[in-house]
Amino acid sequence: MPELVVTALLAPSRLTLKLLRAFMWSLVFSAALVAAAVYGCIALTHVLCRPRRGCCGRPRRTPPACLSDPTLGEHCFLTLRSSGLRLHYVSAGQGNGPLMLFLHGFPENWFSWRYQLREFQSRFHVVAVDLRGYGSSDAPRDVDCYTIDLLMADIQDVILGLGYSKCILVAHDWGALLAWNFSIYYPSLVERMAVVSAAPMSVYQDYSLRHMGQLFRSNYMFLFQLPWLPEKLLSMSDFQILKTTLTHHKRGIPHLTPNELEAFLYGFSQPGGLTGPLNYYRNLFRTFPLEPQELATPTLLLWGEKDPYFEQGLVGAISSRFVPGRLEAHILPGVGHWIPQSNPEEMHQYMWAFLQDLLD
């Protein structure tokens, strides 16, 4: 068929897709402006209530001692083959078994896996990375450096760069979103997955369009689409919004000590420390709309019944996309979003049972 005819036949579909994307972006930025007004009021209230902290975040010059805890592992750097970036990671148990690779979420870093690093190093080579843009890893400033494809290439480079051909992928929040995608596009590199508190992008998209409550829970994602303003709001009153996110008595991490809180704030307080992590969100809507994808990697899914950011209904939506028999899902009663840190013992029990056949 002549190329001109093909172009003419595809023109209506292409126009419809462009109009759909234009409509989507108009909604996203409208929601972003509303979210900016709300979070701006919250940040201003924090400043007025604590005027001595000022309108900026205090830079931390010395990392807290818990980031150097030798029981968690050895600090190393790996230069990625695809991008040349250097990623920081903490490694323990090398030679003790298969590679267990941990991917953190926001606003976290490798330290969010401290309980799992201690628990599994006796039977696995455990590695917790600082994803690009976080902590001591390289942090390019350009938004285009944080596309899903580049982030998945980072994971591939870490696995192969550590000398492995496959891994057990353990992931939470944003790290879990990357893990879902990685298992779809690089299935040969993932033997098993343990996913906590996040849905695949296509599942989240379809579910959110049918359940407006989920969009309200995700209001911060719209704020993060804007340039520079989210960095400013999050840093005001010495990062009080982040502090509240991590320490809130209902929505935060239970029993988080001041030293552990500083372990997360230290990286964000460095110059440009928030821009890389927020650039993950600024790429979220670029691939809209997404096609449904079948999920087949054997996966343990853990979900908090009281997760304030993701509705429990997403678990059923995820299950409907799975090859039968490949998903083991558990909803933890009374538990929130931060399961690896709030309920490590419960998480470890499920993981040991899920991985038992690999160890026999």
CA distance 360 to 350: 16
Residue closest to 178 by CA, chosen among 158, 154, 161: 154
Active site residues: 173, 281, 337
On whether the CB atoms of residues 272 and 303 are closer than 8 A, the answer is no
pLDDT of residue 4: 62
On whether the CB atoms of residues 178 and 151 are closer than 8 A, the answer is yes
CA distance 127 to 117: 8
pLDDT of residue 132: 98
Q: What is the CATH number of the domain that holds 217?
A: 3.40.50.1820
Which residue type occupies 105? Answer: G
Write down the pTM of the prediction.
0.94
Total tally of structural domains belonging to the chain: 1
CA distance 291 to 198: 18
- Residue 120: partners with Cβ closer than 8 Å, 6 or more residues away: 93, 100, 126, 348, 351
Tens digits of per-residue pLDDT, 115-162? 999 999 999 999 999 999 999 999 999 999 999 999 999 999 999 999
Give the position of tokens 């997403």.
314
Tens digits of per-residue pLDDT, 170-215? 999 999 999 999 999 999 999 999 999 999 999 999 999 999 999 9
- Residue 265: partners with Cβ closer than 8 Å, 6 or more residues away: 60, 239, 242, 243
The CA-based diameter of the chain, rounded to the nearest angstrom, is: 71
User: Domain span at residue 45?
Assistant: 1-359
